[in-house]
Chain A
Amino acid sequence: MRIENNGLNSQASVADSGRSGANGASAAAVETNGNGAGIRNGSGKLEGGSTASSFTMLAPPTPKPSYFGHDREEITRIVIQSLVDLGYHKAAGVLEEESEYTLESPEVSEFRDAVLQGQWNKAEELLFGLEINKDADVNALLFYMRQQKFLELLEVADVSKALHVLRTELTPLNQSVEKLHSLSSLMMCISADDLKARAEWDGAAGLSRQQLLSELSKSISASVMIPEHRLASLLDQVKKNQLSKCLYHNTANSPSLYTDHHCDRNQFPLSTVEILTDHKDEVWFVQFSNDGARLATGSKDHTVIIWDLEDFRPIHHLKEHTGAITYLRWSPDDSKLLSCSQDKHAKLWDTTTGGCIRTMNAHTDWVSSCAWAPDGLTFVTGSVDKEMILWNLLGENIHTWTGARVYDLVVTADGTRLAAVCTQHKLHVFNFVTREKEYERDLGGVSTCISVSKDSRYILLNMGAGVQELRLLNIETGADVRHFSGTKQEEFVVRNCFGGADENFVVSGSEDSNVYVWRKENGALVEVLPGHSGIVNCVAWNPTNPYMFASAGDDRNVRIWSKAPQPQLKGKMKGVADSFTISSITHSEATQTTTLTITDATPILTDAHLGDSISVSGTCLTITSFTKDTFTVDLSPETLRRTTFPQSLPPSSSSPVQVNLERAVSGDVRFGGHFVQGHVDTIAGIIDRRPDGSSVVLRFRPRDREVMKYVVEKGYVTIDGASLTVIAVGGGSEEGEGQGWWWEVMLVEYTQEKIITARKQVGEEVNVEVDITGKYIEKQVLAYLGAGDGETRGGLLERIVERVVERKLAERK
């Protein structure tokens, strides 16, 4: 017995099961002719082995090792198919030989050849030999094949045969009658070209046979005939999966297959890099120019400011409106700017000179919105006076749409549609070219803002009171695609925008002072960014820079958000050796203690021991644990009350919380300041900040007015741990009391670089410790005067006076 062929036999049986599976009869048939065409081992021994193997089929196959858990055969056949797809036929052949798997069994190859060569009868026979999916409609498959036969016969003008096919082969299949009718009508075609045009068929020589094969192969069992381009479709799925998991995906590039795709959070714009404060009242609108070089902001203070984004300075102040600015739009070429206002006018400005080119005053109520046609020659303004007007650049009214009181409108980038939302909770979509209304849809709630995606297919709505979410709609059908929630929007207009590379994100403002960012593809909330105080009215993303966006708020500020700045760049601040960042804050409810952790603190920890004192922004704290570069300190509730330390880091800080660190004074140091205990008395807010030459003067107002007693001109005060000289005290006369209510310190350039206070802006707070000497003196004086310690009378002064009076009275006697 050819036991030594066992290995080969097992191969045969394994290959067989790969080919036609269940069909036992054909397995036997395959056995005999399989060795010639199938297993191309080329060894003559195999011939003999095969006849023996029909008796030894019972030998169990020796399993080949699986490919890291995947079936070896599946993988190999898929690889073979990919090699063929890629055009490497020789390599495919070699792989088939070496692996002893075949991409397709011989029947499938024969079937494929038969179809491609138009041998229809053979193809039909072979079709039944193949394993067809259970739910496949065999008649439909046959119809398809015979239809191809029919069309090809007509193409060569063999009408009688074609008719024969139609009668005897197509009709009995009981497919749809219309199909039969259309096929029979094709017989009337004069020429082959006419036939091809009518039937939308490209002839026997074209791709039609390939297409037929593709269609048929979809119904054949997948293990027999592997679906086309299987590897490519598997990889597509993997990419899609990785992309959907990548929360911060902010590039338009397709991810590489070499590594698992994962966008870093630090690449996402999370920090405020600039705050623009020039507006004198709430800022209601912000938009980047289309080239990303400038920014336009509109405010309740009736002005529009155009900013340069290189240095964040204003270029033009446009001041002609007499009402608050509600909306702005750059023209597609950025040469003009449209502004809409509550003074019922819309104005067209030249962005280079800052001059007003034209004023449109046809509206009888607030102008709420405007949009440019993509060619930049016409624009639409919408108003709550029920009209939307289409203007040309000369200010002439070309067309008016009447009917809805419009809150916001957009024109799609391809110029086909105009969409608007109105006070009656409806969405209206018009064809911009024909100006006809396409449809209107009830939204079920008031929508304050509408944006359109760059591909002109989706619109994004902000829903207000009662609904409070964002909705993404398909512009063709008006149907909801996705919802994004988290924002608060009850009474006021809050606006949204698409953003990020390839418009991967959806951004919105909110009445709770945060900016919200979601992933457009799956609605996942990516970030909630605090920073503004008051409603965030409008957001805009830089169209040319996927790492920058802007937000405008009721706090009169416009914030520019970008990636966290690298430590070594940006402007006037040079190396800040003594300022460090709090890396985390944790709070324990049980002990009511908060623990601060500061990392990257190696320079300050050189000879540290547990229990050493360290001044953190002027607060003397004890080191509770430390490593070479990290240490932790605990903050008691009293410390938290008296200082500016937050109880927790804001979630994704707009700017990291920085502190100054200082170790306790050692014995041999030169003493150039005053004794700072590190015991913070109170916190103070910065109420003014002005330059004085290259120095900066900061004015502070303390939270607890009592500390003013200890602050004297030219005395010392400790701010955030830095000992500073008081240059002025004031605020007395206005407040009507003698102690005053503010003091000022001056920071020279050197100090500005070293201490964190120098970077704080008006409104921020600092830790304050007053000179302890003042307190001791005060207590002594009070004790002498008897004004404290619960004594109702007595005290030294009173006794002195008593004695003197007694003596005098005694003398008089």
Chain B
Amino acid sequence: MGLSYNVYLNSNRIYGCKNCKTHLSNHEDILSRNFRGQHGKAYLFNTVVNISEAEPVERNMTTGRHVVRDISCRQCNEIVGWKYDKAYEASEGYKEGKFILEAELLVNVR
């Protein structure tokens, strides 16, 4: 779909897609490191860039039922994590609109 350039972040610690090194988020945007994904450790981020979102699905997670969508790197289409659309439990509401990136699928870019 046309030529589209990546967004580039400015910070000292940037996480990028392990596959193609596209910038995904800053270290400063981490909200919590206490998550686990299919591949192990995962972090909750405030904002991520250069991703495309899939369709929302309902999933049962260890913390309850949520509506999530998988997110993948825009350039190489590898899945890098998911985004919380909605949390059914009130205590999990803080996750809504935030992103999970799995540590295993990330790499430090400079």
Contact = CB atoms under 8 A, between A and B. Distances in A.
Contacts of B5: 366, 368, 384, 407, 423, 448, 493
Contacts of B7: 423
Interface string A136-178: 0000000000000000000000000000000000000000000
Interface in B1-17: 1-8
B11 to A, nearest CB: 14
Contacts of A366: 5
Interface residues of B, number: 8
Contacts of A492: 1-4
Nearest to A536: B2
Interface residues of A, number: 21
Interface centre among B3, B4, B7 (most CB of A within 10 A): B3
Nearest to B4: A492
A535 B4 CA distance: 12
B43 to A, nearest CB: 25
A495 to B, nearest CB: 9
Contacts of A535: 1-2
B8 A493 contact: no
Nearest to B6: A384
Contacts of A448: 5
A511 B2 contact: yes
B2 A384 contact: no
A104 interface: no
A537 B6 CA distance: 17
Interface string A284-305: 1000000000000000100000
Nearest to A364: B21
A448 B3 CA distance: 10
A405 B3 contact: no
A554 B2 CA distance: 6
A773 B2 CA distance: 49
Contacts of A554: 1-2
Contacts of B4: 491-493
A53 interface: no
A284 B5 CA distance: 13
A284 B3 contact: yes
Most chain A CB neighbours (cut-off 10 Å) among B2, B4, B8: B2
Interface string B42-63: 0000000000000000000000
A448 B2 CA distance: 12
Contacts of A617: none
Given A384-B8, A405-B8, A423-B8, A326 B2 contact: no
B6 A282 contact: no
Max chain A Cβ within 10 angstroms of own Cβ: one of B1, B5, B7: B5
Interface string A312-337: 00000000000010100000000000
Interface in A545-584: 554
A278 to B, nearest CB: 19
A493 B3 contact: yes
Contacts of A300: 3
A324 B6 CA distance: 15
Contacts of B1: 282, 492, 534-535, 554
Nearest to B7: A423
A537 B7 CA distance: 19
A300 B4 CA distance: 12
A537 B3 contact: yes
Nearest to B21: A365
Contacts of A491: 2, 4
A537 B8 contact: no
A405 B10 CA distance: 11
Nearest to A537: B2
Contacts of B6: 384
A282 B2 contact: yes
Contacts of A511: 2
B51 to A, nearest CB: 13
Nearest to A285: B3
A324 B8 contact: no
A554 B3 CA distance: 9
Contacts of B2: 282, 284, 491-494, 511, 535, 537, 554
B54 to A, nearest CB: 18
B20 to A, nearest CB: 10
Contacts of A534: 1
A366 B4 CA distance: 12
Nearest to A282: B2
Contacts of A494: 2
Given A324-B3, A494-B2, A537-B3, 8 more contacts: A282-B1, A284-B2, A326-B3, A368-B5, A423-B5, A423-B7, A448-B5, A492-B4
10 nearest A-B pairs in the assembled complex, by CB-CB distance? A492-B2, A493-B3, A535-B2, A492-B4, A284-B3, A423-B8, A491-B4, A405-B8, A554-B2, A537-B2
10 contacts: A368-B5, A384-B5, A384-B6, A384-B8, A407-B5, A492-B1, A492-B3, A493-B2, A493-B4, A534-B1
Interface of B: 1-8
